Structure 1
Amino acid sequence: MSHTANSRPVVSCTLLVIALCAGVTACGSDGDPLSARPYDAADQISFNAPTEGNRKADPDKPLEVVAEDSDGRITDVTAYDASGRYVAGELAADGRRWHSTSPLAADAGYTVRVSTENEDGAPGRKVITFTTGKPTTKKRLDVAFGPKKGTYGVGQPVTAELSQPVKDPAQRAVVERALKVTSTPATEGAWHWVDDKKLHYRPKEYWPANATVQVRSNLEGIKVGDRIWGGRSEPLTLTTGDKLVALTDAAAHRMTVYRNDEVIREIPVTTGMPGYDTRNGVKVVLAKEGTVRMTSASIGASDFYDLIVHHSVRVTNSGEYVHAAPWSVGSQGFANVSHGCTGMSTENAAWFYETVREGDIVEVVNSGGDTMAPFGNGYGDWNLDWAKWRTGSALTGGASDGPAQADTARLTPQSV
């Protein structure tokens, strides 16, 4: 059985030993030691980390607090750095020993607050400050968050790109624990390791409409591995707009567009013909590209085409779009004749182009195509259910060995 001081993390560093001497009793005017102010425990504390001069504590060493007298015990230990980061620790059930369970940051100033109790129940207090030295290695793990600052649809994942690969599960847990995502309104979410250098974060369900999402890293100065220390990162703030979902039923040849769960437009469409079936599943709008040249050579199609296509909204890296297709208006609502894209009339495409934004949801059902893979071809993150998504977290399900069902085919062509 163990106890974490006030459920707040506490620092790990050089050895801190607290000797609690029996017989030190601070009594109030009524003689009751429990009503007394905390006594100064300075005479009962020894601390072998440098607290004076220019010497620095070694951030690789753990912080340990020990009650050396059998009649005294530790009741609470709290430690934090100048930026307000607490470091986790555990207090033994008998109050004899406290030790840190997470690392110190390098080149940081710390405050340690220790609460004690003597055999008569009188409380003691001691506050210690120290600084840690710089890491001896020059290898730094920087984090770049994405996408860029702006307003997105409710399906937009948050991404974290690492400057160094991280493979070890324990090291991944250190990294992931330091990457913080909060939203207003609040919603449950988790990171998923796409590969050794990339993580995606998404909520259990889509983000709330008109929410604010804040992303930051507490990794700076934290030791990740034997040769890697956390570097700097720029925080990121995103906002979401209305919840917009475009649901295409390939068998019914119809797209239904919902805003905040209410139908705002129904559009006759055509999707991929047999052999070029549109992928099923949830896709996220990647970009509004406008006018795009699409050719048969780009996908190796046997029937030739070379077209300038307008009102093009990209939903996969491999060239799947929602776009204007005036040449197939006669088939829209009746047959699937495209090479994988979702085509509609110019009027409907212009409306769709003006209505959607990056991060909005485009979902396809009842197509003959495979389900879009979660990674490797855009944002297919929502095609993993929540339980499977959490298995890609180093904190909730173990680290992933690589891309889950990555879709790496045809990463650059465009189709109509």
Structure 2
Amino acid sequence: MDRGSRRTALICFLILVPLAVGPAACGSNEHPWDAAPHDATAHVALNVGEGGRAVDPDEPLEITARDGDRITDVRAVDAAGRRLDGELSADGARWRSTTPLTASTRYTVAVGTERDDGAPGRRTAAFSTRPGDGRELGVDFGPSPGTYGVGQPITAELSRAVREGKQRAIVERALRVTSSPQAAEGSWHWVDDRTLHYRPRTYWPAHATIVVRSALEGVWIRDGLRGGAAEPLRIRTGDRVEAVVDIDRTEMTVRKNGETLRTVPVTTGKPGFRTREGVKVIIGKQAHVRMTGTSIGIPEGSPESYDMPVEWAAQLTESGEFVHAAPWSAAWHGRDNVSHGCTGMSTEDARWFFETVRLGDIVRHVGGDGPRMPAFGNGFGDWNLPWDRWREGSALHGLRN
């Protein structure tokens, strides 16, 4: 059976229920729209399936007026509160949805009608849609549940690439982030075709609960692809801990909730290995780690080559920048920058820093003449993008989309 025949077979007639209308608020002349609803039986046909059978979500919703009635308005809303858009014919005889139905959900429909004399009528109905037949787009939120610093971005990894702007908007609109206490205005940013990051305009509030959910399940994205189910994510933030490393002055100041805890002498990258400037987020912690020059591109046998055990290492970039103990360069702490890019300090200070910070805390390098920390691709440099440029990466707000 073709689709047209199937739709015809699914037509059912729903009798409108009179809608109570109160007396006119002012004026004494009676108008048709002031009158009580007509008590004549009005008919509306909807292709929503007989006997409660689920509807194919790839078919449009169609509503047809009969017996002299005209459709004046239609409101069709799914279980997640998304309204179904549609078009009404010029004569009011037919309404047809223009956006695809969501799969595996329940819709409620309210249809308003009007007769030639202006008498109104209204009918409500409900129907369900069956699962879609195509592939599903999965979403995996990050980081893992836990407590993080106020600089931690939220990530969403998609199971399939989404490239087209309208499709990205469908996906992004369904990914929802809430914070209690409420954070500043926030936005998703498309890092690539399968990765989104979310951050507020400013850092998260301290001691906040952040919840990330997807309302994408069953939502049509493109032919053959609908949204799949996704596990929600709940994380918390701890105190606001921020370390500022002044490269020129070779010192690091650590603040907690605005109060200075400690200022310590440090050394950062020497010429040829300058430490990146900008905001970084702690992405890992290791009490003991082996560091080698080959891991950052220094060949074995080079005068710059090294291979040594390191203690109390807080990782800032994927390329190998850490804050760590560097007792071998103690004579230079607070005096000169002699490292291969890491921020080194005494073992005592490094252990204190290691025990003070958590993943998601902020380390900001200022001064010096090193390269800028990139926004993406080398850890979390998200905060280095000004807010207007961050929003440009959104399919909903961006100027490029």
Q: Classify the TM-score, shorter chain.
A: 0.7 to 0.9
Corresponding residue for 2:394? 393
SS of match in other structure, 2:167: helix
Aligned length: 382
Corresponding residue for 1:252? 249
**2:288 matches 1:287:** no
User: What displacement does 1:134 show?
Assistant: 2.8
CA distance in 2, matches of 1:109, 1:297: 58
User: What displacement does 1:40 show?
Assistant: 7.8
* Residues 149 and 241 in structure 2, CA contact (< 8 A), matched pair in contact too: yes
Corresponding residue for 1:211? 208
Change (3 A) 1:19 1:272: same
* Residues 19 and 67 in structure 1, CA contact (< 8 A), matched pair in contact too: no
Corresponding residue for 1:405? none
Larger CA deviation: 60-69 vs 29-38: 29-38
Change (3 A) 1:39 1:267: farther
Q: Which has the larger radius of gyration?
A: 2
User: What displacement does 1:122 show?
Assistant: 5.3
Map 1:181-220 → 2, pairs under 5 A: 181-186=177-182, 187-220=184-217
Change (3 A) 1:38 1:163: farther
CA distance in 2, matches of 1:225, 1:339: 49
**2:278 matches 1:277:** no
Corresponding residue for 1:178? 174
SS of match in other structure, 2:176: strand
SS of match in other structure, 1:379: coil
CA distance in 1, matches of 2:276, 2:85: 49
* Residues 20 and 116 in structure 1, CA contact (< 8 A), matched pair in contact too: no
Larger CA deviation: 271-280 vs 295-304: 295-304
* Residues 281 and 359 in structure 2, CA contact (< 8 A), matched pair in contact too: yes
Change (3 A) 1:229 1:120: same
**2:159 matches 1:166:** no
User: What displacement does 1:78 show?
Assistant: 3.0
User: What displacement does 1:61 show?
Assistant: 3.6
* Residues 153 and 199 in structure 2, CA contact (< 8 A), matched pair in contact too: yes
Corresponding residue for 1:44? 42
Change (3 A) 1:316 1:50: same
SS of match in other structure, 2:218: coil
Change (3 A) 1:306 1:52: same
Corresponding residue for 2:380? 379
* Residues 43 and 67 in structure 2, CA contact (< 8 A), matched pair in contact too: no
User: What displacement does 1:259 show?
Assistant: 1.3
Map 1:258-273 → 2, pairs under 5 A: 258-273=255-270
Deviations 1:176-234 (A, max 9, x none): 11111111122310111111111101111111111111101111111111121111110
Corresponding residue for 2:72? 74
Deviations 1:285-304 (A, max 9, x none): 00111111112232243323
Deviations 1:163-188 (A, max 9, x none): 11111111111111111111112231
SS of match in other structure, 1:330: helix
Sequence identity percentage: 52
TM-score by length of 1: 0.81
Structure 1: segments with no counterpart, 5+ residues? 1-12, 401-416
Map 1:32-181 → 2, pairs under 5 A: 43-53=41-51, 55-63=53-61, 74-75=72-73, 77-81=74-78, 83-89=79-85, 96=92, 100=97, 102-116=99-113, 123-137=120-134, 139-181=135-177
SS of match in other structure, 1:329: helix
User: What displacement does 1:281 show?
Assistant: 0.7
SS of match in other structure, 2:172: helix
Deviations 1:33-75 (A, max 9, x none): 878886789x424223133236443323444557678885625
User: What displacement does 1:132 show?
Assistant: 1.9
Change (3 A) 1:248 1:48: same
Corresponding residue for 2:296? 299
Larger CA deviation: 376-385 vs 26-35: 26-35
SS of match in other structure, 1:375: coil
Corresponding residue for 2:366? 365
Letter of the 1:325 partner, please give it.
Answer: A
Change (3 A) 1:57 1:165: same
> What's the RMSD between the two structures over aligned residues?
3.4
User: What displacement does 1:394 show?
Assistant: 0.8
Deviations 1:321-362 (A, max 9, x none): 000111112111110000000001111111100110110111
Corresponding residue for 1:411? none
* Residues 249 and 364 in structure 1, CA contact (< 8 A), matched pair in contact too: yes
Larger CA deviation: 237-246 vs 47-56: 47-56
User: What displacement does 1:19 show?
Assistant: 11
Deviations 1:152-173 (A, max 9, x none): 1111010001111111111111
User: What displacement does 1:129 show?
Assistant: 1.5
* Residues 165 and 196 in structure 1, CA contact (< 8 A), matched pair in contact too: yes
CA distance in 1, matches of 2:276, 2:214: 35
Change (3 A) 1:382 1:263: same
CA distance in 2, matches of 1:248, 1:38: 74
SS of match in other structure, 2:372: coil
CA distance in 2, matches of 1:40, 1:268: 86
SS of match in other structure, 1:256: strand
SS of match in other structure, 2:173: helix
Change (3 A) 1:350 1:55: same
Structure 2: segments with no counterpart, 5+ residues? 1-6
Deviations 1:106-153 (A, max 9, x none): 13222212344556665532111122233232x211100000111111
User: What displacement does 1:29 show?
Assistant: 10
* Residues 20 and 67 in structure 1, CA contact (< 8 A), matched pair in contact too: no
CA distance in 2, matches of 1:388, 1:29: 54
* Residues 16 and 63 in structure 1, CA contact (< 8 A), matched pair in contact too: no
